Amino acid sequence: MTVPFLEPFRIKVVEPIKMTTKAERVAILKSAHNNLFKVPAEDVFIDLLTDSGTNAMSDRQWSAMMLGDESYAGAKSFLKFEKAVADILGFPHVLPTHQGRAAEGMLFGTLVKPGQYVPNNRHFDTTQANIAEIGAYPVDLVVPEAEDSAIDLPFKGNMDLERLEAFINEVGAENIPMGMITITNNSAAGQPVSMGNIRQTGEIYHKYGIPFFIDACRFAENAWFIKQRDQDYAKKSIHEIVREMFSYADGCTMSAKKDAIVNIGGFIGLRDEELKLRIAQKLIIHEGFITYGGLAGRDLEAVAQGLYEGIDPDYLNYRESHTRYLGEVLEAAGMAVYKPTGGHAVYVDAGVTLPHIPPSQFPGAALANALYIEGGVRTVEIGSLMFGHDDPDTGEPVYAPNELLRFAIPRRVYTRSHLDYVGKVAKELMKNTDSIRGLKITWQPELLRHFLAELEWV
């Protein structure tokens, strides 16, 4: 096993966590209707549900928060935030939002009409749902290698450029109000997208007059992977790589809860002032005035500082090797780890790990629940519970391309011994996988069912 790059920080504030007994966890999960989203956080020992908003902020971020200017309009904190976004991402215009999905809602709500299509390498659950809610169609066009969890390639998050162009010709550019790419590709195991692929995706969209937006949540991790895996960028700084990635796009939606290392926040980055003013009308109704957009001034301060910390190469080196280490630990425990490991999470192919459970019985969710009972570790299914649905025409079930279980790592929160503990729990569980049963849904809402669904062991 490789030794991870040392944590480039020391701990100043601690938050106690407490272990429950196995019998308690069985009861807790039962009263949560077998859905880990409904389990109280204090009953979780190691929480790898998400890397979103679960980050530990730095002393500099906390002290910046004291400088928060809470003015309704034109706050100093907004100007600092605007300057940081312009400096790091290169977008001259920015609209703050309370988190990423609000940025998506405002942008799609302005540009997308019912019956239209929005392509992406692969949409995440909220972008998909925000588009579907309008009555438009989210379309996933990731490279086919993304679906092979065993093949080790550098940029499995890429857009399939041939399919993208064929798709535009098939439905007509006039029916595609905007196109996207997600970096890193969260629904495709957190895999990065290459610089060439971002550039060519932009070129294709622009050839057909389609505005190009980047879903930028984990842009710094994507830039780190480009630096590591593409010789041409080995000598460039992360800042330079980030600026080049965004130079190909007309704008971005960002959840600052990821690579800006904060607990809440998001934004829309834009080049076009006219579009900014169109989106602003919606923003003022739903989020707040254009210089705070659903955030406090202190939150804007924390994002402005966090954006710089997120592109620090020592931090990114630690981040990638810490995640890779968890991948090695889980593989040693006998789980089918998706290759290569992503930046923010390790994804386990639950379909391969639990071959006796069919997609209709959600092997990812079954494995997640078993891990919770075994050791109080919370993970999240990214498979057919999240992305499966019934075909609207035939009523037949449609399953996700892979039944993945994601171990997402909050930034700067857990130490290597926490990861070793997760490995120990996984190893214990893997001794007797036959006893893990599948799950069936007893109740589900119409959209984003995984958050609220109730399930029963088969």
Of the candidate residues 68, 266, 375, 376, the single one contacting ligand F0G (CB under 6 A): 266
State which residue, 119 or 438, has the beta carbon closest to ligand F0G.
119
State which residue, 127 or 323, has the beta carbon closest to ligand F0G.
127
Query: Are 408 and 380 contacting, i.e. CB atoms less than 8 angstroms apart?
Result: yes
16: left (phi over 0), alpha (psi -120 to 50) or beta: beta
- Residue whose entry in the numeric block shows the structure tokens 């979780």: 44
Phi, psi dihedral angles at 382 (to 5 degrees): -125, 75
CB of 256 to ligand F0G, least distance (A): 7
- Answer yes or no whether residue 323 interacts with ligand F0G by CB under 6 A: no
State which residue, 186 or 361, has the beta carbon closest to ligand F0G.
186
First to last CA, the chain: 37
- Residue whose entry in the numeric block shows the structure tokens 């589900």: 444
The span from the CA of 236 to the CA of 400, in Å, is 37
Q: Which runs of consecutive H residues, i.e. helices, occur in 255-407?
A: 273-286, 297-310, 313-332, 350-353, 363-375, 384-387
The span from the CA of 304 to the CA of 58, in Å, is 12
According to CB under 6 A, which residues from 394 to 433 bind ligand F0G? none
- Answer yes or no whether residue 99 interacts with ligand F0G by CB under 6 A: yes
CB of 311 to ligand F0G, least distance (A): 18
Residue type, 275: L
Give the residue at shortest CB distance from ligand F0G: 100
Which one of the spans 95-103, 219-227, 301-309, 353-361 is the region binding ligand F0G (CB under 6 A)?
A: 95-103
What H or E segment, with its residue span, contains residue 120? strand 117-120
Which one of the spans 2-10, 99-107, 163-171, 422-430 is the region binding ligand F0G (CB under 6 A)?
A: 99-107
State which residue, 99 or 291, has the beta carbon closest to ligand F0G.
99
According to CB under 6 A, which residues from 182 to 201 bind ligand F0G? 182, 186
CB of 172 to ligand F0G, least distance (A): 27
Nearest to 405 by CA among 365, 378, 354, 370: 365
- Answer yes or no whether residue 55 interacts with ligand F0G by CB under 6 A: no
What 3-state DSSP class applies to 377? Answer: strand
Of the candidate residues 52, 116, 158, 201, the single one contacting ligand F0G (CB under 6 A): 52
- Answer yes or no whether residue 257 interacts with ligand F0G by CB under 6 A: yes
CB of 125 to ligand F0G, least distance (A): 7
State which residue, 303 or 357, has the beta carbon closest to ligand F0G.
303
CB of 55 to ligand F0G, least distance (A): 12
Q: In Å, what is the CA distance from 139 to each residue of 164, 414, 421? A: 10, 35, 39
The span from the CA of 275 to the CA of 356, in Å, is 51
CB of 170 to ligand F0G, least distance (A): 25
- Answer yes or no whether residue 126 interacts with ligand F0G by CB under 6 A: yes
State which residue, 184 or 361, has the beta carbon closest to ligand F0G.
184
Contacts of 230 (CB under 8 A, 6+ apart): 154, 194, 195
CB of 30 to ligand F0G, least distance (A): 24
The span from the CA of 191 to the CA of 339, in Å, is 9
State which residue, 69 or 381, has the beta carbon closest to ligand F0G.
381
Which one of the spans 1-9, 79-87, 94-102, 270-278 is the region binding ligand F0G (CB under 6 A)?
A: 94-102
- Joined together, the tokens standing for residue 371 give 């891990």
- Residue whose entry in the numeric block shows the structure tokens 């060439």: 196
- Answer yes or no whether residue 128 interacts with ligand F0G by CB under 6 A: no
Which one of the spans 26-34, 110-118, 122-130, 282-290 is the region binding ligand F0G (CB under 6 A)?
A: 122-130
With both helix axes pointing from N to C terminus, report the angle between 238-247 and 219-229 in degrees, rounded to the nearest 10: 110
Of the candidate residues 64, 217, 377, 419, the single one contacting ligand F0G (CB under 6 A): 217
CB of 75 to ligand F0G, least distance (A): 21
State which residue, 246 or 361, has the beta carbon closest to ligand F0G.
246
CB of 235 to ligand F0G, least distance (A): 29
Q: How many residues bind ligand F0G (CB under 6 A)?
A: 15
The span from the CA of 338 to the CA of 152, in Å, is 9
State which residue, 120 or 361, has the beta carbon closest to ligand F0G.
120
- Joined together, the tokens standing for residue 275 give 């579009």
- Answer yes or no whether residue 50 interacts with ligand F0G by CB under 6 A: yes
DSSP string, 81-119: HHHHHHHHT--SEEEEESSHHHHHHHHHHHH--TT-EEE
Q: Alpha-carbon torsion 312, 313, 314, 317, what sign?
A: positive
- Answer yes or no whether residue 301 interacts with ligand F0G by CB under 6 A: no
The span from the CA of 453 to the CA of 444, in Å, is 4
Residues forming contacts to ligand F0G in the complex (CB under 6 A) are 50, 52, 99-101, 124, 126-127, 182, 186, 215, 217, 255, 257, 266
